[in-house]
Amino acid sequence: RKEVEQDPGPFNVPEGATVAFNCTYSNSASQSFFWYRQDCRKEPKLLMSVYSSGNEDGRFTAQLNRASQYISLLIRDSKLSDSATYLCVVTHSSASKIIFGSGTRLSIRP
Amino acid sequence: DAGVIQSPRHEVTEMGQEVTLRCKPISGHNSLFWYRQTMMRGLELLIYFNNNVPIDDSGMPEDRFSAKMPNASFSTLKIQPSEPRDSAVYFCASSPGTNRELFFGEGSRLTVL
């Protein structure tokens, strides 16, 4: 079993729709959580950190559920420019290790 | 401000040749990471350094791969001899500290024929 698992998608949704995807992690000692975005043939870039209380940044909302060991990303009023691969990232402070999920591909259609 | 700088951006080489990828992290960042990305396996952590010291190289595929960080502003990833299955995009990333954001370079796209 992979340490960090994501639904690879692709999610194909119309512009303006709300879309959500989850990421599960297996190590209960995981400490920090992030969502990164990667455009085609580009490098990953930080989208947002995920805090225990949940956090929002404009149209994006991230949540953490430690009991069930998953994090989620919700995108409201999706734009064409949101089309990308979204990578879930988990870190373990004990090993200072940063683990990336394999990514969820999102495609927004006009 | 300059971000993470990687070179070369693209490299095409023949099986058996030595490949050296280079990375200059963001000044002041004390952690440096080498990742490899393929369609099949996604982003894999190869090795990471903290304060120029290799902390975890368990992701390095085999003895053909080696990485060095002789100083805080430079790192290399070497593959010798290269094989076609090494074809991938190799990313270098740096971070200002533990559990902090990673800043990626634009990657080095390697093709081994």
Return the pLDDT at A94: 55
Please write the tens of the pLDDT for every residue from A7-46: 888 999 999 999 999 999 998 888 889 999 999 999 999 9
Q: Under 8 Å CB-to-CB from B90, ≥6 apart: which residues?
A: B6, B21, B34, B35, B36, B37, B46, B77, B107, B108, B110
Return the pLDDT at B1: 64
Q: Which residues of B touch A95 (CB under 8 A)?
A: 56
Beta-bridge mates of residue A33: A50, A90
**Mean of pLDDT over chain A:** 91
| Residue A99 to residue B45, Cβ atoms within 8 A | yes
Quick one: which of B110, B93, B101 has its CA closest to B3? B93
Return the pLDDT at B97: 80
For residues A8 and A93, which has the higher predicted lDDT (pLDDT)? Answer: A8
Give yes or no for A67 touching B (CB within 8 A): no
Please write the tens of the pLDDT for every residue from B68-112: 999 999 999 999 999 999 999 999 999 998 778 899 999 999 999
